[in-house]
Amino acid sequence: MGEARMMEYNKTELMACAASRVLEDGRSVLVGTGLPIIAATLAQRLHAPDLLIVFEAGGIGPRIPMIPISVGDSRTFHRAAMAASMDYVMSLAQLGFIDYAFLGAAQIDPYGNLNTTVIGRHDRPKVRLPGSGGANDAGSLCRRTIILMRHDRRRFVEHLDFLTTPGYLTGPGARERAGLPAETGPHRVITQLGVMGFHPSSKRMMLLSVHPGVTVEDVVENTGFELLIPDEVSTTEPPTEAELRLLREEIDPAGIVIG
């Protein structure tokens, strides 16, 4: 990443670039609508040409010409290795063949558990959310999940209003005791403030990097639980000119997501 970083960028573009850099060449990733498609396509075009992109609706291994408007858009099958179905894709996750999955959430707790069901009591909710969709399957079965969401105290909470998708549940060993595959679980949480991971022993969320212009104090103030802070916290690398040109000129020229 030695190119000059002369171009201005927004927070969504920074999140897309940070997420794309997590994805490795030769791996597979389950993506959903919006920012996950942007991040996966960017990775495939820059540093991970053999990244296998998998869509929940059945597109496996496509070469995305430009951003689809949904996971069932015909562009999710463009030059794909296979046009399958939702149950086939979920069976791949169950068999352990999907390395990464992108997730979003309304709430997240210290162990990476997610709520996309209700805010408030389940029987008398203040807000009813979309529900699980494929999120529980992805969070339960894919090897590593990458969570993309907005960072504030209403969303980063000590206790969820409802557990939709399991993270590390109550801590070390809890996933395995619940019958979930070993060595799976949340891997990264990427927000407009920084990048979080999870402590290898305690499984609690840990700050890894802050975005340019953001301080550790900013992240702590916007987190509703005790976030682990290591002795050294790096700064997220800004988007390169190559990344921004791909995002703006080829992947999302209409600014549907990054705009």
Residue 78 reports pLDDT greater than 50: yes
Dihedral of CA atoms 170, 174, 175, 178 in degrees, nearest 10, equals: -110
Q: What is the pLDDT of residue 71?
A: 87
Q: What is the pLDDT of residue 1?
A: 43
pLDDT tens digits, one per residue of 101-114: 999 999 999 999 99
Q: What is the pLDDT of residue 7?
A: 76
Q: Is residue 64 part of a domain?
A: yes
What does the pLDDT average to over 147-170?
Answer: 98
What does the pLDDT average to over 229-251?
Answer: 96
Q: Which band of pLDDT confidence, cut at 50, 70 and 90, is reported for residue 70? A: confident
CATH of the domain at 27: 3.40.1080.10
Q: Which band of pLDDT confidence, cut at 50, 70 and 90, is reported for residue 4? A: very low
Look up residue 158 and give its DSSP letter.
Answer: S
Residue 123 reports pLDDT greater than 70: yes
Task: Show the domain range for 31.
Answer: 11-251
Q: Catalytic amino acids?
A: 56
Q: What is the pLDDT of residue 72?
A: 86
Give the residue among 46, 190, 40 at the shortest CA–CA distance from 100. 40
Q: What is the pLDDT of residue 177?
A: 97
What does the pLDDT average to over 216-231?
Answer: 98
Burial class (CB in 10 A: 0-12, 13-18, 19+), 32: buried
3-class secondary-structure state, position 42: helix
Rounded to the nearest 5 percent, the helix, strand and coil shares of the chain are: 25, 20, 55
Cα–chain-centroid distance for residue 1?
Answer: 22
Give the residue among 54, 84, 42, 236 at the shortest CA–CA distance from 151. 236
Q: Is residue 133 part of a domain?
A: yes
Q: What is the pLDDT of residue 69?
A: 86
Q: Is residue 5 part of a domain?
A: no
pLDDT tens digits, one per residue of 11-64: 999 999 999 999 999 999 999 889 999 999 999 999 999 999 999 999 999 999
Q: What is the pLDDT of residue 2?
A: 44
Q: What is the pLDDT of residue 22?
A: 98
Q: Is residue 101 part of a domain?
A: yes
Q: What is the pLDDT of residue 5?
A: 47
Q: Which band of pLDDT confidence, cut at 50, 70 and 90, is reported for residue 66? A: confident
User: Per the structure, how many domains does the chain have?
Assistant: 1
Q: Is residue 237 part of a domain?
A: yes
